[in-house]
A and B are shown apart, each in its own frame.
Chain A
């Protein structure tokens, strides 16, 4: 199922079952999960320090928007993909340029999103 190089992926998702499923899916796609963050402080910490190639970013982290995490990633030049139940409408206009995966999603959605990021890079 793996295509291209093995990537290190940061998963920022406040719902543990979903986070675990993403982990499974990413592993199945042949990638490595560099970390899972479920709350904003941990997410910011990991985003600023951890070594990874791409991040999936849940927009709403237990009531807090994850834009500060996005800002950190942008500053570090690390591509990221928003994950949200709202779709594009749930994302603030300044972040519209980023790729979005809508919940609920399939493994193929993650694969396409990663492929898109890779193509853009």
Chain B
């Protein structure tokens, strides 16, 4: 063919080419204008009819399509495919697919090989990494490849419908990712979460924390009342019913949750805050309830402990017999005092407490001790006198401790006080008793000393004096016994005389004792005892009791004296003894009676040495102390 013929032929071909693909948009125009002679398809005029037909179909279709012709896969595509081609358009037209899409060369080679062997191929969301617009990006496609037969019925090309699904895939992936994240949150949440469906509250979802809480019981798909029998009893079903019915969220704090293990056996209780959230369906109706718990067991237990501790403290304060008080940091103000009927109560703060509870003379002592405690921030402890609620004097032992804040400053003093008035009285009494005992011992020693001095004064017969001394001490001891038996209270005159004479006169018919009942003070009783001892001793030595027939009578009578006072007249009378001669000198006995007993009783003594017998009369007021 010469050049002119070739040109004429080409022009005619072009004409035919143009008329062969009417329409088809941009791609239609491009295909028509394209010089196919340099491609694997050859000049248009030489195209088989089937190729022309399928090209027409592609260009007419709004669906993105590409034709890969021949084993090289020479590409013809339509407007729909342009988007996919992006910046490779229009370079892809007439190019071999492995050149046009080098990054998918292997894939396309496989597609061509397969489809040209007569088998169609379908891909859903096939992922590619394509270089489009400068950067490699992932893209997804639904791909439908089918063979295009030539005139002889042999597959000569591949028709591909290429629908990019990247956007949908990305959206799905995003949604799936979110879902996974939510699921993860749900699964990993430390808070028990459950979703219950329908009016029977069927467990739909339970996260592991919730599973743990309910003892890993299998609950999903079962109504709560059946799956967790205790839930109805503990009020959870009622709450769920309400939330489901009213469609309003509900929150409960520190709810006790009876823990159960998988076998349903109770374990340690938990405390949770619960949030109930109605879950609405697409149509806006409440279809279920979302429940999330927040374990506050530690807090609840701590609060319970504080509450119990407070209760115990209150019980202690109420149960104790001690008075309880609170003072301001510097003690100027008494904030409260529970006086237990011993001190007056202080219900409202008072600055006048010193004057209410302390006597003026005790205030310096008490306030000084308080000052020391404040300065050293240490325990205040003191036993001191107080003015009781009835105005009388009492004693307390009190102890207060400072309560300090985190900076070490005293915020308050808390103290207790114990009524030790009785103990104090006992102690005082005991002190008196000890003093009295000491006094008596000293006094008795002084008496013995005095008796010894009298007995051994101008002694010419020492053995006799010693015997006298022993007898006198004996008499003193006996009198003491009598008084001790009466606890040093008043003793009877009769008893004193009987006891004093018992040793010296065992024969009762030789000793007559008679008189009305009279009580003596201990001191007088002791003196009378000693006097009786001396008289009896003399009677044995020189008087009535020195002979077998002699008798002694001791009698007393009461009478009213000239001044109207009651008086006693006590008489010692001896009879039947040897003739009496007055002694040359007065003995200790006489002196004891005249200078001792008589003044002791506040009266006088009269001693007569009558020939028929010795007589001694003591005349004295009945009591020198009136009513004592």
Contacts and interface: CB of A to CB of B under 8 A. Distances in A.
Interface of A: 14-21, 23-25, 36-42, 60, 62-64, 84-86, 89-90, 102-105
A85 B595 contact: no
Given A15-B523, A18-B447, A18-B450, A86 B439 contact: yes
Given A18-B446, A39-B624, A42-B624, A60 B439 contact: yes
Given A38-B523, A62-B625, 4 more contacts: A16-B599, A17-B447, A41-B625, A86-B435
Contacts of A90: 435, 439
A35 B565 CA distance: 24
B591 A20 contact: yes
Interface stretch (B288-296, B451-459, B460-468): B451-459
Given A15-B523, A16-B597, A41 B451 contact: no
Contacts of B524: 62
Contact of A21 (B438, B450, B523): B450
Contacts of A25: 453
A102 B446 CA distance: 10
B447 to A, nearest CB: 5
Nearest to A102: B442
Given A20-B450, A39-B625, A62 B435 contact: no
Contact of B599 (A24, A38, A84, A104): A38
Interface in B483-532: 521-524, 526-527, 530
B449 interface: yes
Interface in B148-198: none
Contact of B453 (A15, A21, A39): A21
Interface of B: 435, 438-443, 445-447, 449-451, 453-454, 457, 521-524, 526-527, 530, 591-592, 595-597, 599-600, 602, 624-625
Give the dominant DSSP class at A's interface: mixed
Contacts of B522: 62
A86 B592 CA distance: 26
B596 A103 contact: no
A62 B523 CA distance: 6
Given A14-B523, A42-B602, A42-B624, A20 B446 contact: no
Nearest to B453: A21
Contacts of B443: 15, 18, 85, 103
22 contacts: A15-B446, A15-B526, A16-B592, A18-B443, A18-B450, A19-B596, A20-B596, A21-B454, A23-B595, A36-B595, A37-B599, A38-B523, A38-B602, A40-B625, A41-B625, A62-B524, A63-B521, A63-B523, A64-B625, A85-B441, A86-B439, A105-B446
Interface centre among A16, A90, A105 (most CB of B within 10 A): A16
Contacts of A102: 442
A40 B628 CA distance: 12
B410 to A, nearest CB: 39
Nearest to B626: A41
Contacts of B438: 85-86
B6 to A, nearest CB: 158
A102 B451 CA distance: 18
Contacts of B435: 86, 89-90
Contact of B442 (A17, A63, A64, A85): A85
A55 to B, nearest CB: 15
A93 to B, nearest CB: 14
A104 B448 CA distance: 9
A84 to B, nearest CB: 7
B602 A16 contact: no
A16 B596 contact: yes
A39 B446 contact: no
Contacts of A37: 599
Contacts of B599: 16, 19, 36-38, 42
A4 B530 CA distance: 36
A103 B602 contact: no
A115 B135 CA distance: 135
A34 B511 CA distance: 38
Contact of A24 (B445, B454, B596): B454
A86 B453 CA distance: 22
A17 B439 contact: no
Nearest to A14: B523
A89 B432 CA distance: 12
B524 to A, nearest CB: 8
The 10 A-B residue pairs with the shortest CB-CB distance in the complex, in nearest-first order: A85-B442, A16-B596, A21-B450, A17-B450, A104-B446, A85-B439, A103-B446, A62-B523, A103-B442, A104-B445
Contacts of A14: 523, 600
A25 B449 CA distance: 12
Contacts of A38: 523, 599-600, 602
Contacts of B453: 21, 24-25
Contacts of B526: 15
Contacts of A85: 438-443, 446
